[in-house]
Amino acid sequence: MLENFSGATRVHVIVGDPIAQVKSPFGVTQAFESHGRDAICVPAHVAPADLTDWWAGTKRARNIDGLIVTVPHKFACTAFCDTLSERAKFLGTVNTVRRNAKGQWHGDMFDGLGYVRAMEKNGCVLKNKRALLVGAGGAGSAIAHSLVLAGVSELAIHDPDDQRRQSLIDRLNSLKLGKVSQGSPDPTGFDVAINATPIGMKEADPTPIDTTKIHSDIFVGCVITAPAITPLIAAARAKGCKTVTGAEMFAQVRELMVNFLLEI
Give the whole-angstrom CA distance, residue 232 versus residue 209. 7
What pLDDT is recorded for position 127? 97
Q: How confident is the model at residue 226 (pLDDT cuts 50, 70, 90)?
A: confident
Share of the chain above pLDDT 70, in %: 99
How confident is residue 203, by pLDDT bands cut at 50, 70 and 90?
confident
Provide mean pLDDT across the span 76-85.
97
Q: What is the pLDDT of residue 21?
A: 83
Task: Output the pTM of the full model.
Answer: 0.92
CA atoms within 13 A of residue 94's CA, in its CB half-sphere: 26
Catalytic site includes residue 74:
yes
- State how far the alpha carbon of 66 is from the alpha carbons of 11, 39, 118, 148, in Å: 7, 10, 24, 29
> Is 88 within 8 Å of 77 (Cβ atoms)?
no
Q: pLDDT-derived band of residue 196, with 50, 70 and 90 as boundaries? A: very high
Over residues 115-120, the mean pLDDT reads 97
User: Looking at 74, 89, 127, 176, which residue is catalytic?
Assistant: 74
